[in-house]
Amino acid sequence: MDKYRIILTVEERARLEHMTSSGKAAARRLTHARVLLLADELHGEACSDAEILSALGTSVRTIERLRRRFVTEGFEAALDHRPQPPRPDKVKVKGNVEQKLVELACADPPRGRCHWTLQLLADELVVLGLVDTISTVTVWQALKKMISSPGSSRLGVFRPTRTPSMSGAWRT
């Protein structure tokens, strides 16, 4: 990559060499240090991304990202791990919507159906105006949270029902 060229100062190179030789750092930090040392164009022959990839076994995307961070954000930013952005809660259905979902799941299914499906429950929540859109996975996660723990006498949200046999085959 010619766009992001890595040129280390003498102090930065000495610090990276000391870090990699002692091995007293996090594995990701050591990998970043090795990539920077191999990609340095000022001191010796700089390796291409393919050579760094074969030498260290990291991904091309990691090397590209590290080059860009070094040039745009600096030496420390390239070494340090950038934490993941905060993720939203796992279950997005809360409060009144969750209560209504459980009531629906425990109620009798619509006419012509023998049981509620996740898609039917999601569609019903949208029809009732409780949510704008909702996926079946979100409905599943909310209902999964409601299922009782092992050993409990409660059966959870879904009541067990026998599924009638579709064929006239032997019963086992």
d(CA 47, CA 31): 15
Write out pLDDT tens, residues 4-21: 889 899 999 999 999 999
Q: Do 72 and 118 fall into the same domain?
A: no
Could you tell me what percent of the chain has a pLDDT over 90?
Answer: 34
Residue 141's contacts (CB-CB under 8 Å, 6 or more residues apart) are: 90, 91, 93
Q: Give the chain's domain count.
A: 2
Task: Examine the fold and report which residue of 32, 48, 79 is the final residue of a domain before the chain moves on.
Answer: 79
Residue 21's domain comprises 10-79
CA dihedral 146, 150, 155, 159 (to 10 degrees): 90
**Beta carbons of 67 and 39 less than 8 angstroms apart:** yes
Confidence check: pLDDT of 1 > 50:
no
Q: How many CB atoms lie within 10 A of CB 55?
A: 12
Q: Is residue 135 part of a domain?
A: yes
Write out pLDDT tens, residues 99-127: 899 899 989 998 899 999 999 999 999 99
- Average pLDDT, rounded, for the chain: 83
Kindly state the DSSP code that residue 3 receives in the 8-state scheme. S
Write out pLDDT tens, residues 49-100: 888 888 998 999 999 999 999 999 999 999 988 888 887 765 577 888 888 9
Q: Do 16 and 73 fall into the same domain?
A: yes
Q: Do 104 and 75 fall into the same domain?
A: no
Q: Do 71 and 19 fall into the same domain?
A: yes
d(CA 66, CA 58): 11
Q: Is residue 172 part of a domain?
A: no
